[in-house]
Structure 1
């Protein structure tokens, strides 16, 4: 069993930290909003008042925060992980950030005597709660092997995809696919409703054919119910699609459908839906179709 500092106890981070505590690890959690540590403490973990306090005795440091600047601040900022962790500590960054930022942070970590893996996850809140996340890991094979027992506690599909930054690149591709699927599902349901079709029956039969997908299974009912409590917020997916479009341009790769869905995600955010689940792209289709979202 390891001593694990877990920084970032939001929608995803909290259940992940709870799983690690219940598995017998000593988990010390830190979150900018202290009340977010309650679930971890209830599961047997402890709460820290600062990053420095959380990482002081940690063998493993897990990070799950929203964006590239947040990870840079947590790791390399004043009073951050690099200034206070034990030499040799293994840092697992579960956040979804820019691949180039990850690569630079990995270089800094090595220079400071740490080991850093980028390990972004897919599966949303349900995957975190059910310990069924897909985890795409970048970094050295040796560090991946060391982290694998930790990753096994919170994930189901765990794959080492290459050197530092590779996990973030694969996650960007994942977010491109997911966004496209959500948008097309939303368009299909608005289309079906316009013709008065039994949408529950339609979704059932569509799910049994080639149109079936994890997105359909997890998001169709939310659209039918107009229930968009966040499992993964539009504002975060907007951020991820910004990563995709920037990285694609740098690589000279054209993503025409990705560019369209990135604009639709930006529109949803601009219309006040940023705090809703990304299935609320449905509301954007309704707006474009001349219907007022419920």
Structure 2
């Protein structure tokens, strides 16, 4: 998602310094971005630094590892982490960045690659109000629904809540489709009928069609969604609360990953459900 987000910022007239230029992102340099060798070099002289990496450990490494962003961040710089990571770690990273005299927002996103390309991402922002306003022009290039949800770390909490709803809804659509399919109902007809009733949803519309067509190219990879739900379970343990259906969905995801499906779109849970329910008619 970082590539189309960077492209939108370039097209909007922002000057970018980008780290880790690969073959598939060389076009960003051709469009005017400056390729640099280290995260520190990307941060040096920048008013705003944006991170978009897969997991909590990746954020820590990019920020505080050798030649990390922290060693190049200017005193009044604004660090925006748009990755989806653990809220507790986010608050720790923010405190370490603030001790350097810089500012920190956590701003995870929802909307996938389609939203990143179209500038329609949902952006959930945690941090100080003045930092949010400072970043707003950048967010408006990238997203459509932009909400300041509270202090640092709250953005990650809201993203985790989003991922619970999305993951469990995909799983329940998969269960409904499996039941109907095994009972002899055409899935296309099923989807048409359900979209006219109270069960209608964006997930039923989009991911239901993926299940019908058996097209599971990401999209959003199942293994990344599993990572987000594991963050939800870790957060729940810290708060001494139960998320039983989230835990069950993670187990289904584990089953799918064990079958080599972790790189497929998260709608592949439909196939995983079928795998653990062999068709007696076959």
User: Taking structure 2 as the reference length, what is the TM-score of the superposition?
Assistant: 0.95
CA displacement at 1:220 relative to structure 2: 1.3
Correspondences of 1:48-197 after superposition (within 5 Å): 48-197=36-185
Q: Point out 4+ residue stretches in structure 1 off by more than 6 angstroms.
A: none
From 249, 252, 277, the equivalent of 1:261 is 249
**Count of residues paired in the alignment:** 280
* Mapped pair 1:17 → 2:16: no
- Could you tell me whether the CA contact under 8 Å between 2:40 and 2:70 is conserved in 1? no
- Could you tell me whether the CA contact under 8 Å between 2:106 and 2:152 is conserved in 1? yes
- Could you tell me whether the CA contact under 8 Å between 1:175 and 1:240 is conserved in 2? yes
- 1:4 aligned residue: none
- Could you tell me whether the CA contact under 8 Å between 1:190 and 1:285 is conserved in 2? yes
Instruction: Provide the C-alpha distance between the structure 2 equivalents of 1:119 and 1:193, rounded to a whole number of angstroms.
Output: 40
CA displacement at 1:57 relative to structure 2: 2.1
- 1:248 aligned residue: 236
CA displacement at 1:237 relative to structure 2: 1.0
- Could you tell me whether the CA contact under 8 Å between 1:55 and 1:61 is conserved in 2? yes
Q: Deviation per CA, 1:20-71: give whole Å up to 9, x if none.
A: 111111122222x622422423443232222122221211111000000000
CA displacement at 1:291 relative to structure 2: 4.5
Unpaired runs of 5+ residues, structure 1, are 1-11
- 1:27 aligned residue: 16
* Mapped pair 1:279 → 2:272: no
Unpaired runs of 5+ residues, structure 2, are none
- Could you tell me whether the CA contact under 8 Å between 1:66 and 1:95 is conserved in 2? yes
SS in 2 for 1:272: coil
Instruction: Provide the C-alpha distance between the structure 2 equivalents of 1:39 and 1:168, rounded to a whole number of angstroms.
Output: 31
Instruction: Provide the C-alpha distance between the structure 2 equivalents of 1:98 and 1:52, rounded to a whole number of angstroms.
Output: 23
Instruction: Provide the C-alpha distance between the structure 2 equivalents of 1:148 and 1:252, rounded to a whole number of angstroms.
Output: 35
Q: Deviation per CA, 1:114-150: give whole Å up to 9, x if none.
A: 1110000111111111111111100000100101110
SS in 2 for 1:116: strand
Instruction: Provide the C-alpha distance between the structure 2 equivalents of 1:200 and 1:41, rounded to a whole number of angstroms.
Output: 44
Instruction: Provide the C-alpha distance between the structure 1 equivalents of 2:250 and 2:59, rounded to a whole number of angstroms.
Output: 23
Alpha-carbon spacing, 1:185–1:42, altered in 2? closer, same or farther (3 Å): farther
Alpha-carbon spacing, 1:74–1:192, altered in 2? closer, same or farther (3 Å): same
- 1:3 aligned residue: none
Instruction: Provide the C-alpha distance between the structure 1 equivalents of 2:111 and 2:124, rounded to a whole number of angstroms.
Output: 12
SS in 2 for 1:258: helix
Instruction: Provide the C-alpha distance between the structure 2 equivalents of 1:139 and 1:30, rounded to a whole number of angstroms.
Output: 25
From 210, 214, 233, the equivalent of 1:226 is 214
Larger mean Cα displacement after TM superposition, 18-27 or 204-213: 204-213
Instruction: Provide the C-alpha distance between the structure 2 equivalents of 1:225 and 1:163, rounded to a whole number of angstroms.
Output: 42
Instruction: Provide the C-alpha distance between the structure 1 equivalents of 2:90 and 2:246, rounded to a whole number of angstroms.
Output: 23
